[in-house]
Amino acid sequence: MGEKVVLGLSGGVDSAVAAARLRDQGYEVHGMFLELGLGGEEEARKAAGELGVPFHVAHRGQAFEQTVCAYFAGAYQNARTPNPCIVCNPLVKFRALTELADELGAPYLATGHYARTGRDGEGRALLLRARAKKDQTYMLYRLPRETVTRCLFPLGEEPDKDAVRTEARGRSLGVSEKPDSMDICFIPDGDVPGWLARRGAALPPGDFVDENGKVLGRHKGLHRYTVGQRKGLGVAAEGRLFVQALDPVKNQVVLSLHDVYRKTVRLTGTHYIAPEFAANGPFSCEVRVRFSAKSDRATVYPAGDTAVIAFDEAVRAPAAGQSAVFYDGDIVIGGGFIEDAAE
């Protein structure tokens, strides 16, 4: 039996194929299901049985509630647009994988994320973009380098998800036809306003205003809107309206007839997987301002745990609460949380 690896086994097709590949490569694979009180354990347990790997359950419901759900609700209450996976990965998911790996004496961690790892010329671990369009490094940029050093991402070289699903069928895995999860795991119906309301975290209605402060109508609560939004506003105008800004102090949604573009953005909570890029001051790179967005050329000006990004060309609708992630080619440098425009 080869070296041990603890793999996050969710009960989905990606993690099941990742486990099968690692087993074929000679690793002693241990599957870990992250129990958050959201269900899914039986599917993961069944997958472990089909794969013939030991199955472990990590109960992290309380940590998930305190670290991720509370963060998510608080961000919306402060007129921000959060991404919970970015907080969950380093503070809950990979922490649980690391703790079990240490307990079992396993040198490696693994997940079904579409990402890769490598080493630079000095032997330092690097987090690298996946080959597939479904690159998920945006969600992983806050991992500590010491965690990345231990990570294996068996799906990182795959061109697309279809190839993984085909392989699952070929292996006769029961999860091969399981649909992809498209929503936030703790809000499976996608109704974020409803979830916030049930927690008592929904915000009250207020005014839609134009950029001069003229009242245009009534909004349904700041948590229902994000910068750049143009659908579901319900305000008549001479042209298409866009959410230009959210003002939590005045409880106003500012609308305009022109789309939202920013050339400079301020970040807080910056984290560098590859801190050597920022060691000597400003650096040029590519930046993604949301998970689905393309990368844009920019210069980053680091200043402790804050930074300012100056884009070569203005980018559309960078929203407070989302992350801006820095890349040098395929290398993930790091990133931070978007605060506001920095003009």
DSSP secondary structure string for all residues of 180-221: PP-S-TT-TT--HHHHHHHTT-PPPPEEEE-TT--EEEEES-
User: What CATH class does 4-170 carry?
Assistant: alpha beta
The reported pLDDT for the residue numbered 294 is 85
Q: What is the number of residues in the chain?
A: 343
Q: Residue 110: which of 221, 32, 226, 200 has the closest Cα? A: 32
What is the location of CATH 3.40.50.620 in the chain?
A: 4-170
- Asked if CATH classification 2.40.30.10 holds for the domain at 261-341, the reply, yes or no, is yes
- From the candidates 69, 85, 185, 285, give the one annotated as an active-site residue: 185
Active site residue 185: yes
Q: Residue 116: which of 142, 95, 137 has the closest Cα? A: 137
- pLDDT tens for each residue of the chain, 343 residues long: 689 999 999 988 999 999 999 999 999 999 999 999 999 999 999 999 999 999 999 999 999 999 999 999 999 999 999 999 999 999 999 999 999 999 999 999 999 999 999 999 999 999 999 987 889 999 999 999 999 999 999 999 988 888 888 888 988 888 877 777 767 999 999 999 999 999 999 999 999 999 999 999 999 999 999 999 999 899 988 889 999 999 999 999 999 999 999 999 999 999 999 999 999 999 999 999 988 768 999 999 999 999 999 999 999 999 999 999 999 999 999 999 999 865 4
User: Do residues 324 and 247 touch, judged by C-beta distance below 8 A?
Assistant: no
- 115: how many CB neighbours lie within 10 A of its CB? 24
The reported pLDDT for the residue numbered 111 is 97
Active site residue 88: yes
What is the location of CATH 2.30.30.280 in the chain?
A: 203-256
- From the candidates 69, 88, 151, 285, give the one annotated as an active-site residue: 88
What is the location of CATH 2.40.30.10 in the chain?
A: 261-341
Q: Residue 142: which of 268, 33, 308 has the closest Cα? A: 268
The reported pLDDT for the residue numbered 293 is 65
CATH of domain 203-256: 2.30.30.280
28 phi/psi in degrees, rounded to 5 = -90, 100
